[in-house]
């Protein structure tokens, strides 16, 4: 139907313009709080764009991680900045831009427009029909143990990348824990409404995370989306003032954080010992192995994201 | 095909907007925002180009790479924010010291 | 388009009108409290109409139930968060707008 494609083109055009406009406003705003809120809205529009591009797994991940957890991290960092005395507005206008006049002032913008034009030309000159690797993935999907092609690629065909990605998360947490910062004073008494909201939402979030984990084998979902929903539950708990009891912040916490990468590495070593090739699952056990890796990964991603939001190592929290 | 190139060009635009802000602004939080927007632009280009398959489902390999990219971006952002808080605590404002201005 | 599609379209457009009203309220009202009022009222009704428009098209009771659950969760979260924003604004001393 002609009208439907025109409507869709208008929608896509508006969405693209909205993305560019939100990004520009977010980067050009002098008030940092406004900039962060615009960035969160930008993340939600990106999730819409992923849906238009038929990438529901990416849309789930973007909505949970890109807009949700990143937004929480940015707002928490802004609160930390203002409590150490830095201004919420930019302290000085970028002087380099103001004082330079004439051609030198316009040089960065000209160079940038040239870069944009070159990149745009490079993108537009790509072939408009290119199946990529979708045929190979579809052929081997039956032997991969799951029926969602993105999960199959993430955890079976490109499992090595995912294993290293879990290690990156762990290293980020190590970096954050090793930098001790002055903690901003947090209200120890949570508002009763926030308390009630947390009590209602956290069990539901855990249920949704378990559902996303399970359904990721045959529908959009998977370990990262489920882990980020768990991370969101953790952020909500932290905001409501809940902290881990101190007997759990030593070895048990570190064990859970390690369990994702460790399970992956352990299974990788087992596949080397059995078959001689890294991460080549035996076909009849592939589904089970993927489920084990995904479960451990979900737990450790959730706990890692919540710990990244908390920002200070458990020992530092106890000393305060 | 129109949709693919529309979103790919939007991705290029986002990348260049982010690059401009990354270079021109001195405030570290703004640089971190710019870096995230640049990442979003790159992901948009990848996923848009993955949709060039004819009539079958889009290519899942770039989707997996973008999911990996989103998680890595949030890890890097968390560490970068912590470093920025450390700089702000040491020097009093959230900008890296500039040798020219001293 | 069948009858169901026409019904869906009407409900979705009505929801869109409520969202537009809420956004106009956000832009035009004078202070935080009136803006919160406009946002939560109009957006909740708007989302309810959008969800109704989608429930009509749902292919199973489970899918329709999930859509209604989404609406209820947004209602819960919206109400709690607007209360928190309002009480936070009061604590910071933002006064109510008086004509």
Q: What is the ipTM of this complex?
A: 0.93
Domain spans of chain B?
Answer: 2-91
Tell me which residues of chain A, numbers 253 to 292, contact chain B at a CB-CB cutoff of 8 Å: none
Q: How confident is the model at residue B102 (pLDDT cuts 50, 70, 90)?
A: very low
Gap between the Cα atoms of B33 and B45, Å rounded: 19
B contact residues 51-90, partner A, Cβ 8 Å cutoff: 51-54, 56-68, 70-79, 81-86, 88-89
Nearest CB neighbour to B7, from listed A39, A49, A176: A49
CB A165 within 8 A of CB B68: yes
Residue B61 in contact with residue A133, Cβ under 8 Å?
yes
Confidence band for A106, pLDDT divided at 50, 70 and 90: confident
Averaged over C7-24, what is the pLDDT?
A: 93
Any C CB within 8 A of A182 CB? no
Is the model's pLDDT at A316 over the cut of 60?
no
Determine how many CB atoms are found less than 10 A away from the CB of residue C43: 22
**Helix intervals (H) in A134-191:** 134-140, 149-152, 159-178
| Neighboring chains of C (3 or more beta-carbon pairs < 8 A) | A
Pick C58 or A318 by higher pLDDT: C58
Number of domain units in chain C:
1
pLDDT tens readout for residues A110-133: 888 999 999 999 988 888 888 888
Angle, helix A192-215 to helix C61-91, in steps of 10 degrees: 150
DSSP state, A278? Answer: T
Which residues of chain A does B58 touch, with a Cβ-Cβ cutoff of 8 Å?
Answer: 53-55, 134
Q: What pLDDT is recorded for position A3?
A: 59
Of the options 1.10.3720.10, 1.20.1370.10, 1.10.287.3510, 3.40.50.300, the CATH number for the domain spanning B2-91: 1.10.287.3510
Residue C96, domain member (yes or no): no
C77 touches chain A (CB under 8 A): yes
Q: Touching check for B21 and chain A: CB below 8 Å?
A: yes
This prediction has a pTM of 0.90
Instruction: Give the minimum alpha-carbon distance from A193 to chain C in angstroms, rounded to a whole number.
Output: 6
Q: Both tokens of residue B17? A: 């907007």
Query: Computed from CA positions of residues A74, A76, A79, A80, in that sequence, does the dihedral angle turn out positive or negative?
Result: negative
pLDDT for residue A2 is more than 70: no
Distance to chain C for A98, nearest Cα, Å: 32
| B74 to A70: CB separation less than 8 angstroms, yes or no | yes
- Tens digits of per-residue pLDDT, B37-75? 999 999 999 999 998 887 778 889 999 999 999 999 999
**Minimal CA–CA distance to A48: which of A38, A35, A34, A60?**
A60
Q: How far apart are CA A62 and CA A44, in angstroms?
A: 8
Assess A62–B contact: CB distance below 8 Å, yes or no. yes
Q: Which domain holds residue C78?
A: 3-91
Given a cut of 60, is residue A91 above it in pLDDT? no
Residue B83, token pair as written in the block: 């470093």
In a domain, C99, yes or no: no
* Cα nearest neighbour of A312 on chain B: B82
Closest CA to A163 of A49, A312, A308, A290: A290
Q: Please indicate whether, in this complex, the C-beta atoms of A191 and C76 are within 8 angstroms of each other.
A: no
**DSSP state letter for A250:** T
Q: How far apart are alpha carbons C82 and A114 in whole angstroms?
A: 45
Using the Cβ of A175 and the Cβ atoms of chain B, whether some distance falls under 8 Å is answered with: yes
Q: What's the mean pLDDT in A151-171?
A: 92
A59: exposed, middle or buried (Cβ count in 10 Å: 0-12, 13-18, 19+)? buried
| Rg for chain A, CA atoms, rounded | 23
Percent of chain B with pLDDT over 90: 61
Cα nearest neighbour of C76 on chain A: A197
Chain A CB within 8 Å of residue C9 CB: no
Instruction: Determine which helix (DSSP H) or strand (DSSP E) holds A120, and give its type and residue range.
Output: helix A103-124
Q: Which two tokens stand for residue A307?
A: 């710990």
Give the torsion through C-alpha atoms of A225, A230, A232, A236, to 10 deg. 170
pLDDT in tens, C25-81: 888 888 888 889 888 989 999 999 999 999 998 888 999 999 999 999 999 999 998
């Amino acid at each position: 139907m002609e009208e439907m494609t025109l409507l869709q083109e208008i929608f896509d055009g508006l969405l693209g313009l909205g993305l560019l406009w939100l990004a520009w406003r977010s980067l050009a705003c002098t008030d940092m709080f406004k900039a962060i809120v615009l960035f969160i809205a930008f993340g939600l529009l990106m999730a819409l764009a992923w849906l238009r591009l038929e990438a529901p797994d990416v849309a789930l991940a973007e909505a949970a991680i890109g807009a949700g957890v990143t937004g929480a991290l940015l707002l928490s960092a802004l609160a930390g900045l203002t409590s150490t005395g830095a201004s919420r507005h930019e302290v000085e206008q970028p002087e380099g831009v103001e004082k330079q006049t004439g051609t030198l002032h316009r040089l960065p913008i000209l160079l940038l427009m040239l870069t944009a034009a070159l990149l745009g030309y490079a993108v537009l000159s790509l072939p408009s029909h290119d199946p990529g690797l979708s045929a190979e993935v579809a052929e081997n999907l039956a032997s991969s143990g799951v029926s969602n092609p993105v999960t199959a690629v993430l955890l079976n065909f490109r499992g090595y990348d995912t294993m290293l990605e879990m290690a990156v998360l762990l290293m980020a947490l190590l970096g954050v824990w090793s930098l001790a910062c002055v903690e901003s004073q947090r209200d120890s008494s949570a508002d009763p409404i926030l308390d009630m909201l947390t009590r209602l939402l956290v069990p539901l979030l855990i249920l949704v995370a378990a559902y996303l984990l399970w359904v990721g084998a045959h529908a959009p979902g998977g370990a990262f989306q489920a882990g980020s929903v768990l991370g969101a539950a953790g952020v909500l708990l932290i905001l409501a003032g809940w902290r881990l009891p101190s007997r759990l912040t030593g070895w048990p916490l570190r064990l859970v954080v390690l369990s994702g990468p460790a399970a992956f590495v352990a299974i990788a070593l087992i596949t080397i010992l059995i078959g001689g090739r890294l991460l080549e699952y035996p076909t009849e056990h592939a589904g089970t192995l993927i489920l084990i890796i995904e479960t451990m990964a979900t737990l450790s991603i959730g706990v890692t994201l919540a710990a990244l939001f908390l920002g200070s190592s458990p020992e530092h929290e106890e000393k305060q | 095909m129109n949709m693919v190139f529309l979103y790919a060009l939007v991705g290029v635009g986002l990348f260049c907007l982010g690059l401009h802000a990354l270079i021109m602004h001195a405030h570290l939080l703004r640089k971190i925002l710019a870096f995230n927007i640049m990442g979003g632009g790159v992901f948009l280009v990848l996923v848009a180009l993955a949709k060039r398959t004819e009539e079958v489902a889009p290519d899942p390999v770039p989707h997996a790479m973008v999911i990996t990219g989103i998680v890595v971006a949030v890890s890097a952002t968390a560490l970068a924010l912590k470093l920025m808080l450390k700089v702000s605590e040491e020097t009093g404002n959230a900008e890296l010291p500039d040798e020219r201005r001293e | 388009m069948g009858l169901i599609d026409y019904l869906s379209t009407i409900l979705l457009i009505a929801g869109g009108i409520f969202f537009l009203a809420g956004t106009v309220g956000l832009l035009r009202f004078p202070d935080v409290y009136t803006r919160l009022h406009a946002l939560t009222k109009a957006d909740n009704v708007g989302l309810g109409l959008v969800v109704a428009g989608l429930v009509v098209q749902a292919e199973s009771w489970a899918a329709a139930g999930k859509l209604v659950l989404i609406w209820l969760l947004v209602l819960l979260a919206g109400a709690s968060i607007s209360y928190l924003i309002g009480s936070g604004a009061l604590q910071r001393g933002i006064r109510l707008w008086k004509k």
